[in-house]
Chains A and B, each alone.
Chain A
Amino acid sequence: MEHAETQYAQSVQKPFTALRNSTIISFISTFLSVSFGAFIAYGVSRYKVLSETRMFQLLMLRMVPPIVLVGPLSLYYTTIGLIDSLTGLIAIYFITTLPYAVWMTKSFIDEVPIELEQAAEIMGANRWTIITEVVFPVIRSGLLATFLFILILTWSEYLVAFILSKTDAVTLPVELAKYEGSSEGRVYGRQAALSVGITIPLIIVGITIRKHLARGFSFGMIRK
């Protein structure tokens, strides 16, 4: 009985909830990812906090197919109450996008001349100030590009959102899937309207940051 009820609840179309969820989840997880990623990247760039091997391993963390972990993850989330929650999705998106954030911001930080930092040090600034008020402003456009790029990734993600959400934390891509098995048969027109709404913002964002995309993808292997 409960199964049929949840099945119905999961198929009710609520684009408003999906839009709200997608926005919250994407923006927060991306912000966390880029913030922590930038600080880690600073450490790697200036202090070699992570060796080159570790950096590659971090990247490869991202490359493991999510499907192999998302099953037990859903059981774990159910046990600790994070299933179908915004927090749960934000957490997993944070972890999976962090490698990209570190790699991309590192390549920008690498290009900031060390003299700037040394000058600030001489003037008595502490590390926090140096990073936030000297280095980050210089790479402002790079940080923005990284932010937008990861935003695109989290906004369009399907598998993890599909499995870890039921009714409350549904994101836009999962919402689109609801229109597919609609009780009214094939509602192509409405699917298309939803699709256009989901995709156009991302395309505009992507075109805006296109000059930085090459930098982000080459992971430091292409020198300018």
Chain B
Amino acid sequence: MARSEIMLQRTKRYKKMVLFPLIASIMLILGPALLLQLYLSFNYYSIYSEGWWASEWYALDIFSEVVFDSRFHIAIIRSLGFALASTVGCFVIGFGLALLMYKNFRLQWFYYIIFIIPMLTVPIVIAYTAEMILYQKGPLNGILSSIVGRDMLIMWITNPDIALLTVVLMEVWNWAPFSFIIMMAGLASLPKEPVEAAQILGASRFKIFYEIQLPLLRPIIVLALVLRFLEAMAEFPKTWAIFQGGPGTATETIPVLIYLNTWYYFDWSKAAAMSYIVMMMMVVIILTAIKILQKENKRIAQVQAN
């Protein structure tokens, strides 16, 4: 009896000690930022104010201006589309590579090492390198010209219709290894017995994949997709460093638009309102993601128990 009481006391003490730095840093650094952002979305901070504390009360005007701003709407759609496209792209390639590679073969280690490199590359370096390569008179077009036979002068960067696709391609190159690593681990952790049993029974390879391996992999697939999607929504270096949101507004995703409003148009309040709306949107997406992941986690535990 006494022992469990001691355990409980210890737990509480440890908890207090250990969580203190976490909570302290959140309250000292993130808290004020969050509150200030809220403040700015109700009080207009203009370049003529002597400081952010001298902002004028605008009530809901700032929010309503943002809510009805079509440029904001389009940026949200662009971000969602970009995140979706790049997540699917990363997943298809990552999973495809994993499927081709998870069974041991001769040069597996070599391919594995090379394939994880893009994820280890600094994103801003990828951005500037891509800019060099995708230049209209650059190597990518050069290679394409040699393959196709005539001069291919695709304007990867300056054509507004292609620009966002270019960013998607860069993002997929950068992060396909992420899905690749997760799916490799997932495939490797699958129990062999059901697959072998089905093979003995004569099931086709496709059927084995679809009805045995895929369902077991579902939690991991969900994890890979969710994490990548959330990070893709926040992507900044590749869209900003090369395009600055352009040409025109072709690559103006949410982070770019908020950045422009804050530091180019100096419309801090508008950016603050946008940020809050985006935050609420992300919270909804994230809470849904948490619920899905928790459900999948439970599924794994159940399957493990069987």
Touching chains A and B, CB distance < 8 Å: yes
The residues of A with any CB-CB pair to B shorter than 8 Å are: 36, 39-40, 42-43, 47-50, 52-53, 56-57, 60, 63-73, 75-76, 79, 91-92, 94-95, 98, 127, 152, 155-156, 158-159, 163, 173, 176-177, 180, 188, 191-192, 195, 198-199, 202-203, 205-207, 210, 213-215, 217-224
Instruction: Give chain B residues whose Cβ lies under 8 Å from the Cβ of A127.
Output: 10, 14
- Known interface pairs A65-B282, A156-B122, A173-B122. Does A71 touch B262 (Cβ–Cβ under 8 Å)? yes
* CB–CB B32/A76 < 8 A: yes
Min C-beta distance of B178 to chain A, whole Å: 7
Q: Which residue of B33, B189, B289 contacts A72 across the interface (Cβ within 8 Å)?
A: B33
Q: Which residue of B30, B113, B283 contacts A69 across the interface (Cβ within 8 Å)?
A: B30
Asked whether any CB of chain A lies closer than 8 Å to the CB of B101, the reply is no
Instruction: Give chain A residues whose Cβ lies under 8 Å from the Cβ of B15.
Output: 43, 47, 49
**Segment at the A interface, from B65-73, B143-151, B158-166, B226-234:** B226-234
What would be 23 A-B contacts, judged by CB atoms less than 8 Å apart? A43-B15, A43-B19, A49-B18, A50-B19, A57-B290, A67-B254, A68-B37, A68-B276, A72-B34, A76-B32, A91-B29, A95-B26, A95-B29, A127-B10, A158-B241, A163-B263, A180-B128, A198-B125, A199-B120, A210-B113, A221-B219, A222-B185, A224-B189
Min C-beta distance of B116 to chain A, whole Å: 6
Min C-beta distance of B16 to chain A, whole Å: 9
Q: Which residue of A47, A63, A71, A79 contacts B230 across the interface (Cβ within 8 Å)?
A: A63
Instruction: Give chain B residues whose Cβ lies under 8 Å from the Cβ of A222.
Output: 182, 185-186, 189, 220
Q: Which residue of A73, A198, A215, A221 contacts B33 across the interface (Cβ within 8 Å)?
A: A73
* CB–CB B272/A72 < 8 A: yes
- Known interface pairs A60-B286, A158-B124, A210-B113. Does A67 touch B14 (Cβ–Cβ under 8 Å)? no
* CB–CB B122/A64 < 8 A: no
Q: Which 4 A-B pairs have the closest CB atoms?
A: A65-B234, A206-B120, A214-B185, A72-B36
Asked whether any CB of chain A lies closer than 8 Å to the CB of B132, the reply is yes
Asked whether any CB of chain A lies closer than 8 Å to the CB of B223, the reply is yes
**Segment at the A interface, from B84-92, B194-202, B291-299:** B291-299
* CB–CB A203/B123 < 8 A: no
* CB–CB B293/A56 < 8 A: yes
* Bound CA–CA A199/B254 (angstroms): 28
Number of B interface residues at 8 Å Cβ cutoff, please give it: 75
Main secondary structure of the interface of A (DSSP, over half): helix
* CB–CB B185/A60 < 8 A: no
Instruction: Give chain B residues whose Cβ lies under 8 Å from the Cβ of A224.
Output: 189
* Bound CA–CA A192/B223 (angstroms): 35
- Known interface pairs A53-B290, A65-B255, A95-B25. Does A71 touch B268 (Cβ–Cβ under 8 Å)? yes
Instruction: Count A-B contacts at CB 8 Å.
Output: 203
Asked whether any CB of chain A lies closer than 8 Å to the CB of B184, the reply is yes
- Known interface pairs A40-B22, A49-B11, A60-B286. Does A218 touch B185 (Cβ–Cβ under 8 Å)? yes
Most interface-central of B124, B181, B268, B279 (chain A CB within 10 A):
B124
* CB–CB B117/A203 < 8 A: yes
* CB–CB B125/A176 < 8 A: yes
Instruction: Give chain B residues whose Cβ lies under 8 Å from the Cβ of A163.
Output: 263
Asked whether any CB of chain A lies closer than 8 Å to the CB of B172, the reply is no
Min C-beta distance of A93 to chain B, whole Å: 11
Instruction: Give chain A residues whose Cβ lies under 8 Å from the Cβ of B254.
Output: 65, 67
* Bound CA–CA A35/B241 (angstroms): 34
* Bound CA–CA A176/B296 (angstroms): 42
Interface residues of B in 248-294 (CB under 8 A from A): 254-255, 258-259, 262-263, 268, 271-272, 275-276, 278-279, 282-283, 286, 289-290, 293-294
Instruction: Give chain B residues whose Cβ lies under 8 Å from the Cβ of A195.
Output: 122, 125, 128-129
Closest to A82 in B: B29
Instruction: Give chain A residues whose Cβ lies under 8 Å from the Cβ of B155.
Output: none
* CB–CB B112/A177 < 8 A: no
* Bound CA–CA A64/B258 (angstroms): 14
Closest to A88 in B: B29
Min C-beta distance of B243 to chain A, whole Å: 12
